[in-house]
Amino acid sequence: MQSGYYSAAGGMVTQFNRLDVVANNLANTNTLGFKSDNVIVGDFLRLYKTARDELPLENQTVEGAQFYNRAMDRVPQITERYTDFRLGNLAKTDNTFDFALGGSGHFFVVNTPQGIRLTQDGSFKLNDDGVLVTKEGFEVLSNDGFEAKSTIRFNNEDAIVETDKNGQFYISIPGNAQLVAGSKLMIVRPETLQNLVKEGANLYKPESLEILHVSEESGLVLQGFVEKSNVNPINEMVAMIEANRLVGMYQKAMDSQMNDMNKDAVEKLSKKG
């Protein structure tokens, strides 16, 4: 296969993959707590220009030229995919069981059929049994520990439910004028965000429970608020336009390689024959 055609085809596939990421970001612009994804596109020519002064071979040598020519034949590819965990805008809802975390890097903990997962979407509700759950029905865990998997439950008599900035619930009991401390939201901080695997339903799978540190006094819990998506629609549209234009450029390069250049080569060879 001709190297130029192969490089153009590889570059086009890379941009298709980039478009998938951009499209997913745009589709989740209004998803509460969603964190946008991004990709880094690298190629060996770019890496060579960045690090050529650090190579063991000196510039302007035959060996250096051979390395350069080999690098030129490599295609652009996605070298890194990452999630942007920056805090999204906070929106006030005044709903009792809506919660936002006023700082990045912290998560609520929920129990799913696949195990313990993390989320930053704090738009919770009560199920028929009075248990605090996510929109998908996953139980929100209290800070009693991962092994206990204790849920947060309220009774019908709990007329007043307040939460402080550390996630501590305070409820009213009939015949008692004062609020009484109840369960407490489990708020965790992973050692490194790179150890989280993004799943569906706005959930993250930790590499292991050992990397999670429970924040007893996070001071980040905001009752009656939700965190909106941190996707910037304008930036994503610009990225989509750029990727589409690159796809068109790669397509033209492939057409020129296969049609114009090959046709010219065949005609010249036939004349010599």
Q: At 122, list the tokens.
A: 């704090």
Mean pLDDT of 186-203: 91
CA angle 165, 167, 169 (to 5 degrees): 110
* Residue-wise pLDDT tens digits, 30-54: 999 999 999 888 765 665 566 555 5
Quote the tokens at residue 4: 């130029």
Residues listed for the chain: 273
Q: What pLDDT score does 45 carry?
A: 60
Reported as a single tens digit per residue, the pLDDT across 242-266 is 999 988 888 887 777 767 666 665 5
Q: In sequence order, which residues have a C-beta less than 8 Å from that of residue 107 and are 6 or more positions away?
A: 101, 118, 119, 120, 187, 188, 189, 190, 204
pLDDT for 38-95, tens place per residue?
988 876 566 556 655 555 555 555 555 555 555 555 677 777 888 999 999 999 999 9
For residue 266, what pLDDT is reported?
Answer: 58
Whether 153 contacts 140, CB under 8 Å = no
pTM for the full predicted model:
0.77
Give whole-number Cα distances, 92 to 62, 100, 140, 170, 224, in Å.
Answer: 65, 9, 21, 20, 6
Tens digits of residue pLDDT in 6-21: 777 878 888 999 999 9
Q: What is the pLDDT of residue 155?
A: 83
1 pLDDT more than 50: no
Read off the pLDDT of residues 205-247 as tens digits, 9 standing for 90 and up. Answer: 999 999 999 999 999 999 999 999 999 999 999 999 999 998 8
Type of residue found at 214: V
127-138 per-position pLDDT tens digit: 999 999 999 999
Q: What is the mean pLDDT of residues 90-115?
A: 94
